[in-house]
Every structure is written in structure tokens, then in C-alpha cells.
Structure 1
Amino acid sequence: MRKKLLSPFLSGTMLLSVLFGFTSSSSADDPVTLSGNPIITSIFTADPSAHVWDDGRIYLYPSHDIFPSRGSDLMDKYHVFSSDNMVDWVDEGEILRADDVPWGRPEGGFMWAPDAAYKNGTYYFYFPHPSDSNWNNSWKIGVATSNKPAEDFTVQGYIGGLPGSNLIDPNVFRDDDGTYYLYAGGGGVSYGVKLAADMMSIEGPVKQFTELEDFHEATWVFKRGSLYYLTYADGNPGANRMRYATSNSPLGPWTNRGIILDPVYNSETTHGSIVQYKGNWYLFYHNAQISSNGTLRSVNVDRLYFNPDGTIQKVVQTSNGVPAVGPRSHATEIKYYDIINNNYSEYTQKTEFAMNASNVTIGGGATRSGGNIENMHTQGSYIQLSGINGGTGGKALLTVLYSSGDSGTAFKVDASGDTSAEGYFLSLPGTGGWGNYTGRTNRLIDLNSGTNNIIRLGGGMGGANISRVIVSLIPNAPPLETEYPMSGSNVSVGGGAVKSSGSIENMHIPGSYFEVTGINGGAGGQALLTIVYASADNQATVKVNASGDSSGNGYSLSMPGTGGWSTYTGRVSRLIDLNSGANNVIRLSGGMGGTNVSRIIVTLNP
């Protein structure tokens, strides 16, 4: 089994994994946080199977469209996602791939729509996979198990006694009496059967549901009250719709009820699951909103409503998604709303790279023409930037400036900090011409700390000419409060003042002073200066000069006595002005009473 890759905040997988909250509200006092659609953006996912387990979280078990697009036949690498509020989703990591299936098709791939179930402390993961190179006639429903919902799954075998042709899209339903049923089917054929107690074999005959109207694939069964519901994708020409039927029995006969989901954006397929969570009913489904490619799909969610007679209202597909049903939490997924609205205002530390710079190399058919890189439509073409500064590591904003005469292009982006090795999808919409360098596209990537990062842009998925690449970081915020001890190497004295055991003394002498350099003023403006001191005099006064004081007059600061030259209980403060950056100087001048200073503290405005 593959080791689980739990992405830290924020995840470094393929599309985006930083959380920017998307909120809307009915009033300023009543903010509502929305999930946005699609909800899964770190990798391309489809065919979502949703389950609520005993830990109170909702889990998604989708299939995974591999990027760059290799077609549905080569789908692989199942991930699990979870949430406790329907808004903040965590990529729990990879749980299974074709390489883990000992009886599977030798060429791999064909890891299509899965499902999961739980019984007596064991989680069961059901997945379709062919057992032979002749994939269409050798389908099996594999079973992997774990004592955890999102890791450590081990393949146990497959369910025997099922048809080998068109046996895809497994769905396992638990009835109120604890009985489990397996549903599967594709190519216009729908099956259902009772599972035996071991959850890996069948009990009784396999039933074919011939009464379903225009059944194509994607079965999902759930129960509400005493009524059983079966949803599925129909064979509507051009793009599937989602239909449903109802029954008084888990194995039918089924009564057709109609359409609950119209064709989805940019995808010929449809596949979903319906689940109740924290009092609400939801439909999870996929579309190709991000990629505009039907083999690179993304999971969405919208509310589902029932009529008083138990029939289902047609689901309205939205870009906003659904409201949160709990407080905000740790998450790895960015809202799609922020992807398309370029909400990256914090990334202000920018470095631009011209395409003829010494750290930019090309290959695979890409060529330089003037200061631009062309022929990125060629399979295997790439641009590689080395020596990229990742700051302290984590998220960076990649911006590509380009022209394109194609209607739509995509790059695969690889970056040093991407621990998933999935790469990132970068969309480059057409600009109307190869010489029209008005294109500007962004995406968040992951970089390691330091200046040895590499970013690689892979082409071969449409044409784009690249003029510049910009890498932007969030500047490291200076600490709000910084202490400067008088023993520091950035502290100098003069005019009779001396350093003694970590303190500055003899500040009673006319002309005495000490100066502290390298003071961080943050963004500049007012800062609070605090002096910690001891004094046996009744009162002392110092003059303060600071880099940001454009008047040149300085500041006067009174320091009441503390009762002794070693009694460092004195603490006085005043506002001063500093310049932006870390090159400020603060100078304290004495000669107006005695004081020994142990340290100064500079506090910036947040």
C-alpha cells in the first residue's frame, strides 16, 4: 500500500490547495460561508461517493482523473476527502491505485467510480477493475479493507459470482436492519444483489433492473423514511442526465420518477451520490468547470430538496455551492470562486523572470524567438526555471504572461515543493493571436524554503507563446513586538556612555548616547518604543531620535526613578515614527539625569 500523503495547510497537490474563505451574507451581522463549486480543486476528481461515519465527518470517495489528460481508460490513484462543515475539505491522501491490485489488469488504469461501506469496525472500499487486458469483459468488483476511513487499505480480493461485462460503478447500501446490498452496472445494464455477512460475497441471485428508464450507469441507492431511491445516469445523447426511481424494496421493482440533474458543465458524463448530513440533504456530482475537458472533472455539491410526497425536486447547479454547517476548520482546498477571481492580494513580493534569463532553459521542441518562448504546443515541450526563491517555503503565486491563437491551452506545472508529485493544472485561455501578449494566468504552487527551487512548465496541450513568468510570495510579516537587548552587536555607545553587564550606564553624562541599528519598522509609520531601565535619581529624561521622524526634532521621554541603579523595574513608552523595512536606527541621548537601560522594545501596528 502507498503511504498516506496528508497534505499540510496548505496542500501541495495539483490545482490549488490554499484556503481563501468565500463569504456572502444576507446582512453584515449574519455572514454565511459558502463552499463554492467545485469543492475539490487540488486534483481532478469525479464520481463522488459520499458517506457520513461515526466520527461525525462526511467523507468523499471519488475517482481520480489523471492530469495531463490520458482519458478515462487510464484513471487511477483513489484519494479520500473529508469535512466537518461542508465547506472546508481535507485531502486525506491516496488510499489505492492499480499497482496495489494483485489480480488486476497488467496494464493498470481503469480504476473507475468506487464506493465505501462500514461494518463492525471495518471500512470496506469497493472499486471496479478489469482482471485482464480484454478489459470490457473482465470487470471485477474489488474489495479493500481498513480499520480507518481514509488510510491503510489493503486489497482482499474481489466479489465472485457477478457478471464480467459492464460491471462498473459499484454502490453498497446498508438497510435499516443491517443488511447490505450491492448495486453495479453500465452499458445500459443495471444489477442489484444482497451481500453476504462477510461483505465480500453475494447471497442469493443477482437481479437485473430492466424497468429503469434509459439506464446507462452510475447507480446510487439511499433510503428516506420507508422509501428506497435509486439514482443513475441516463443515455441522453450528447450529455447524460441524472434520473431517479423509487421502490418499497431495496431490490425493486422500481418506479421511474424523472430527472433530478440536467447535463453538467463541459462533461458528457454524470455521476453522483445523495446523503443527509447535519439535517440537510446534498447531491454530490462532477463537472468540468475548471478544465473544460470531459476527462478532467471536478466534484461539486448542491442542496437537494424533497416534495411532501417524497419526490425529489430538480437540483439547481450553482457556483456558490452550499453554506457551512459548522465552524471553520483546517482545510486544504481553495474555493473555486477565488480561483476565477484571482484573490491573491497578499502575494506582493514579486520576482519577474524574462524568458531569455540565464536561469531559464527549454527543451522538447520549445524554441526562443526574441525574448519569447514558442512552440509549446509540441508534445514534450517544456520551460524550466531554476534558482527560484521560495522564501520560508509554502505557497507561492505563479503568474504566466503569454499570447495564444488557440481557443484554450493547458500547461502542467511541476514545482519543487509539490510533495504529491501530481503537478498543477494551469489554464491559458486564447488571446486572439500569437502576437497578442495580453494573456495573464495565475495559480498557486508549492515551493521549498530557500533559493534552490525549480519550476517546470510542460506543454503539448495547445499552443501558447510565453513572454514572462512571475513568482510572488507573501512577505514575511515582522513580529509585532521585538526586543533589542543592550548586549546586542547592533548597539553602540558614545559620549561617555558604557556597556556594563548587558546594560547601558553613565547616561547622566552630557553628550552620552546609545544607538540601536537594524530596527524593523515593518510597513513604516508609528511604532511604540518601550525602554526598560533602572534609576536612583528622582527623574531622568532622554531624547529619542528615530529614522522615521521627518521633523528632525526628536522625542522627549521622561523616566521616573526606580529606587536604585540595579532596580530594573522601570518601563516607559512613547510613540515614534519609523521607516518601512529593517534598516531603522533609534538613538537615545542622555545628560539629563541618570538611567541605566537594559533593553528597548519596539511594537509595530498590526
Structure 2
Amino acid sequence: MMKKKHWSLILSGTMLLSAFFGFTSSSSAADPVVTSGNPIFTSIFTADPSAHVWGDGRIYVYASHDIFPSRGSDLMDKYHVFSSDNMVDWVDEGEVLRAANVSWGRPEGGFMWAPDAAYKNGTYYLYYPHPSGTNWNDTWKIGVATSNKPAADFTDQGYIQGLPGSNMIDPSVFRDDDGTYYLYAGGGGKSYGVKLASNMTSIDGPIKQFTELQDFHEATWVFKRGSMYYLMYSDNNPGANRVRYATSSGPLGPWTNRGIMLDPVLNSETTHGSIVEYKGNWYLFYHNAKISANGTLRSVCVDRLTFNSDGTIQKVIQTSEGVPAVGPRSRATEIKYYDLINENFDAYTQKTEYAMNGSNVTIGGGATRSGANIENMHNQGSYIQLSGINGGAGGKELLTVLYASGDSGAAFKVDASGDTTGDGYFLSLPGTGGWGNYTGRTNRLIDLNPGANNVIRLNGGMGGANISRVIVSLKPATQPTEYPMSGNNVTVGGGATRSNGTIENLHIPGSYFQLTGIDGGTGGKKQLTIVYGSADNQSTFKVNASGDTTGNGYTFSLPGTGGWSTYTGRVSGQIDLNAGTNNVIRVNGGMGGANVTRIIVAPIP
């Protein structure tokens, strides 16, 4: 059950987390209901969600990215895509495009604002607003990047010619029932729509301005239900945008204003959303600043959307629970916000405490040491760095900081060796009522590499807190450990390739992937599980492991799953590992193909 007392942490910007587990609430022991919680993306700060359902049956959200520490909207960059097959377990598919990839863009970069996506004839299109000049407000363009995958390998193709140079932001692309595509964009009170040409990168016909929309500001989204077209947008309500919508009998209007469908969101003056149907339900995606309490550090949320019998939309109720699952539990990288609030870290029992006067602790940038405490972390550039941190088998580990603070609330940026996104982690430190009142205790999950050579750095300058201790907690090796193929302890060779966190081309003779830093606990027999997708009827892998004294390796047979991207395959077998965290596992292909997403090492049941 929820610990109600923890909800007081929300307004001070609790913690930003990511993990491989979720929260389950239940109305009865026999009737469990799993919900997403809001916000749904917690590994990085995201806004302006654009949701789509493609042919593989997953729902994808293309979001803008509020980089932390924030410098406001000018620094926004590095688009990420998130996906799910049940609305509850979300995967950060990773970065798909950044300003540095845009050859025609603003020399100073940044300004990668709200994107959208479309699919046509085997190609995925990413549409995004970006200025072409230093004078960003008058040089907006709608760029187009393409890929043959929904969430990876996008390459910029230039920008759409013939559009206005100012106020041309927040693109939305809509596909009508006859296969015609339309582009919508606008900001600063001006809303536009135009038919796209068959090449999806140019316009076909005159641009229409929708002057009939009531109090239009930005954030256009267009969809169709039955014979009715809907245009959703953000209004100009001062300091607290609302979402309004209008309807029409045609994709380019004229539009009939229908009123407000979403009230202002928590801690953010901006509002931007998308509407999509998935597995028989309609959803509204939007953002708020619940985690950070900072309107330039936002997070994506989702709630159910309901239509009246006449096609009008009921006002959406913003919830903390989010939406219920529409399928079985599956792989996730995003922690549920419930778990964040509940501090549900009971599995992290292998604790190591680090005193602030220890030999592995260094400080700088104005931070000072007073006795056993680190002070003056309010200074810009101040930091505490800990070296020689044991990451165990690597992956998600728990960082706990003990502190005192006379400020109403502070934040640290945490850097850790295993962070592959480069964003660092947001750590909130609510005030404790005094600089000598060391009752503060704040947690967050961070990524560490396998082994004992990790570094953790706490960066200050965003409010003050005096630090007394840092604790790093691991899950004991008796727990199953997942190793994603995106990890930096994974290498490939012999023709095998890595694509979007998956190892492919393992049908090639001599192909292999190898994982280092595997935790064998006390050694001996362990259960290895390979998670994969395969369009072949049957494949075979030979596995070598550090504890194999025979040298013969182990044979794993992998039945087909019906498709290379159908990652429902799980095959398990016993292998031998040595004691400690320096084990190596090598998986050899060449006898049929399978694309591998992760392996799991667990004690023998």
C-alpha cells in the first residue's frame, strides 16, 4: 500500500529513478491491478510527448528532452524514444537524434523542441522543430529524419521547404484514412496546417492558417475518431497553459471550438500532449514537473481519455495512479513513481557506508570539509567525488545520501560510472530545518559498472546541503541479475552487431558476444537464461563460462519465436561460474540466428 506520508516529498521534487521493477497495488488479493503511476518516464526529464502505435503492436512515445541541470528551453536536445506493450512497463529505447546531427541547424545547437513521428512504406519519419540560425526565433524550420526502425538509427534529411520562418514549432503529422498525410505546426498564437507530398519531406498545396481557434498558443495535435477530426492545442492562460480542443469534418478545418479538456499541470506553466488509441482504450499523454518542482525539468504522464456519445471529450482527470496495465508484465527501464515515493528498496541489502573524511573522498569547487562533514555545496562548481566504489555485477544500485539543509530544498546532479546517457541523475534534498540537523536521507538508483573501480560524483550549486555520509547498496549475488546487451561490459565480434540494445547477426559463423564482470557469488552452478527473438525454426548457441573446468562449453537450443523482433523467447540452462565478480560468459553463434536482448544469471532454484 502507499505510504501516504511520503507524498509530502512531491512538491520539493523527490527523486529521478530508473529500474527493472514496478509497483503493484491491488483491490483484493485475488484481483491485482498494476498501474503505471505518474510520471511514467523517470530516467531522464522529458516533455511534449508524441504517442504512436506502429505495426509491431507496441506503443511508442517520441519526447523532447529537458537536460539537467536546466538552462531553460534553449538547451533542450537529444531526443529519446520510449516504448511499451502494456502501458505500464516502459523502455527507454535511447537517443535517436541530437542537434549536432543536424548539418543545417543553428551553430550553437540546442532548441530541439517538441517532435512528432510518422510511418509510411517501411520508413519511419521523425519531424522536429529547430532553428537554422543564431537568431533562433525567426529561423525555425521543420526538420525531417528517417529510419527503417521506429526507435533507432535516424538520419537527418534536411528540412521542409516553403514554411514560415517564425512561429513554426511543434510539428504534428496526421495520416487520414485515405493514406494522405498532413502537417500541422505553429506557435506564438499562429496555427497552420498543410497537406504533405507523397515523399513526406515537402508540402503539396497551400498552407492554411487556422484563425478560428480560440486562444491558440502552441502544441498542435490532430487525430481522427470515426468521421470526426480533432485538433488539440495549448492555450495562453497566463503561467498555466490549459489544453483546448476543436473538431471538424475535414483535416484542414474549419474548426469548431469545444473548450478545455485538460487543466493546468503541476509545477509547469507549459502544457503539451498527444492522444492515441491503444488496445481498445484512449489515452492522453502530457507532461508536468512533479518530480523536479521546476517548470524547465518536466516529466511525461498518461491518463485515460473518455468521449461523450456526441463525440466531445470529457475533461481529463490528472491522476497519480496513471493507467492500468493492458497486458502481462514485461521488460522495463523506467521505475514506477509509486516505488520512488515508497522507497521500495528492500532488495538492496549489501550496504557499504562511506564517511566524508575517507581516503577515497575528494572535494572541490568551493566545497569544504568540517570535521567528518562536507559543507558549502551551495557554491557553483562544488562537488564531492568518491572512487573505488564496488558495483557488484553492475547495473542498477542504490545511492543514499545523509545530509542536513537549512534551505527549503536543494538538488544535486549525480554522475556515476555506469551512466550511458550522460545526463547524470537528479537527486532531491528537501530541507531538514537546519544546517546541523542531519536527519535528511535521500535515495536514488544509479548505474554502476561491474567491479570495484566505479566513481560517483555529487555536484552542488543548486541549493545547499551538508553531507555526513554516502551509502551504496547492492542486491546480494543470490538474486537474479539481468545483463542488458546495451551494457558497456558487452562486446561483440565475428560479424555479430549491436543495434538499439540488441545483439543481431548471430547466424554468421564465428559470431559471438561476450560479457565481463559477471558476478558468480560463491561460485558453482548458476542458471543462465537467454532472452531473444528468432524467425528461424531452431537455433543453437554454444556458451563458454569462466567456471567450466571441462572446456566443452554448454549447448543451448533456441526454438523460433515467429519473428526477429518478437522477443518472447527464453531458454535456460546451467553453467559453472567462479566465485567473485570477474567471470566471463561468451555466447557463440553460427548455428541458426537469434537476436538477443539480455541474459539473466540466477542461483539454481
TM-score range relative to shorter protein: 0.7 to 0.9
Q: Partners in 2 of 1:520 and 1:346 — Cα distance?
A: 19
In the alignment, is residue 380 of structure 1 matched against residue 381 of structure 2?
A: yes
* Corresponding letter in the other structure for 2:368: T
In the alignment, is residue 223 of structure 1 matched against residue 215 of structure 2?
A: no
Q: Partners in 2 of 1:369 and 1:17 — Cα distance?
A: 33
Aligned to 2:563: none
In the alignment, is residue 310 of structure 1 matched against residue 314 of structure 2?
A: no
Aligned to 2:292: 291
Deviation at residue 418 of structure 1 after TM alignment: 1.3
Q: Partners in 2 of 1:236 and 1:474 — Cα distance?
A: 48
Q: How does 1:126-137 map to 2 (within 5 A)?
A: 126-137=127-138
In the alignment, is residue 191 of structure 1 matched against residue 192 of structure 2?
A: yes
Q: Partners in 2 of 1:354 and 1:198 — Cα distance?
A: 61
Aligned to 2:70: 69
Structure 2-normalised TM-score? 0.77
Q: Partners in 2 of 1:123 and 1:417 — Cα distance?
A: 31
Aligned to 1:454: 455
* Corresponding letter in the other structure for 1:342: E
1:267-307: CA deviation from partner (whole Å, max 9, x where unpaired): 00000000000000000000001111111100000000000
Q: Partners in 1 of 2:457 and 2:400 — Cα distance?
A: 13
* Corresponding letter in the other structure for 2:467: I
Deviation at residue 74 of structure 1 after TM alignment: 1.1
Q: Is the 8 A contact 1:478 1:520 kept in 2?
A: no
Listed as ranges, the gaps of 5+ residues in structure 2 are: 1-14, 481-520, 524-579, 581-602
* Corresponding letter in the other structure for 1:306: F
Deviation at residue 27 of structure 1 after TM alignment: 2.1
Q: Partners in 2 of 1:41 and 1:254 — Cα distance?
A: 36
Q: How does 1:41-440 map to 2 (within 5 A)?
A: 41-440=42-441
State the secondary structure of the residue aligned to 2:338: helix
Q: Partners in 2 of 1:345 and 1:20 — Cα distance?
A: 12
State the secondary structure of the residue aligned to 1:339: helix
Q: Is the 8 A contact 2:239 2:270 kept in 1?
A: no
Q: Partners in 2 of 1:66 and 1:151 — Cα distance?
A: 20
Q: Partners in 2 of 1:395 and 1:62 — Cα distance?
A: 24
Deviation at residue 70 of structure 1 after TM alignment: 1.6
Q: Partners in 1 of 2:177 and 2:420 — Cα distance?
A: 42
Deviation at residue 438 of structure 1 after TM alignment: 0.9
Q: Partners in 1 of 2:390 and 2:146 — Cα distance?
A: 43
Q: Is the 8 A contact 2:16 2:426 kept in 1?
A: yes
State the secondary structure of the residue aligned to 2:301: strand
* Corresponding letter in the other structure for 2:67: I
* Corresponding letter in the other structure for 2:370: S
Deviation at residue 405 of structure 1 after TM alignment: 1.3
Q: Partners in 2 of 1:240 and 1:135 — Cα distance?
A: 23
1:393-445: CA deviation from partner (whole Å, max 9, x where unpaired): 22211000111111111111111111222211101111111111111000001
Deviation at residue 520 of structure 1 after TM alignment: 7.7
Q: Partners in 2 of 1:154 and 1:605 — Cα distance?
A: 45
1:39-67: CA deviation from partner (whole Å, max 9, x where unpaired): 10011000000000011110000000001
Q: Partners in 1 of 2:604 and 2:478 — Cα distance?
A: 11
1:126-176: CA deviation from partner (whole Å, max 9, x where unpaired): 000000000000000000011111111111110111111111000000000
State the secondary structure of the residue aligned to 1:205: coil
Q: Is the 8 A contact 1:275 1:282 kept in 2?
A: yes
Pairwise CA RMSD: 1.9
Q: Is the 8 A contact 2:22 2:89 kept in 1?
A: no
Q: How does 1:9-24 map to 2 (within 5 A)?
A: 15-24=16-25
Q: Is the 8 A contact 1:19 1:335 kept in 2?
A: no
State the secondary structure of the residue aligned to 1:136: helix
Q: Is the 8 A contact 1:380 1:459 kept in 2?
A: yes
Aligned to 2:517: none
Q: Partners in 1 of 2:471 and 2:25 — Cα distance?
A: 31
Q: Is the 8 A contact 1:65 1:296 kept in 2?
A: yes
User: 1:408–1:478: structure 2 CA closer, same or farther, 3 Å change rule?
Assistant: closer
Matched residue pairs, number?
Answer: 475
Aligned to 1:477: 478
Structure 1-normalised TM-score? 0.77
Deviation at residue 476 of structure 1 after TM alignment: 1.2
State the secondary structure of the residue aligned to 2:312: coil
State the secondary structure of the residue aligned to 2:205: strand
Q: Partners in 1 of 2:396 and 2:148 — Cα distance?
A: 33
User: 1:162–1:605: structure 2 CA closer, same or farther, 3 Å change rule?
Assistant: closer
Deviation at residue 456 of structure 1 after TM alignment: 0.3
State the secondary structure of the residue aligned to 1:233: strand
Q: Is the 8 A contact 1:221 1:228 kept in 2?
A: yes
Q: Is the 8 A contact 1:214 1:234 kept in 2?
A: yes
State the secondary structure of the residue aligned to 1:340: helix
* Corresponding letter in the other structure for 2:238: P
* Corresponding letter in the other structure for 1:477: T
State the secondary structure of the residue aligned to 1:202: coil
% of aligned pairs identical? 84
Aligned to 2:516: none
State the secondary structure of the residue aligned to 1:338: helix
1:433-476: CA deviation from partner (whole Å, max 9, x where unpaired): 11111110000011112211110000111111111111111111
User: 1:162–1:390: structure 2 CA closer, same or farther, 3 Å change rule?
Assistant: same
1:179-205: CA deviation from partner (whole Å, max 9, x where unpaired): 111000001111111111111111111
User: 1:324–1:472: structure 2 CA closer, same or farther, 3 Å change rule?
Assistant: same
Aligned to 1:535: none
User: 1:400–1:175: structure 2 CA closer, same or farther, 3 Å change rule?
Assistant: same
1:298-332: CA deviation from partner (whole Å, max 9, x where unpaired): 00000000000111000011111101111111111
Q: Partners in 2 of 1:302 and 1:176 — Cα distance?
A: 26
Q: Partners in 1 of 2:479 and 2:201 — Cα distance?
A: 58
* Corresponding letter in the other structure for 1:373: I
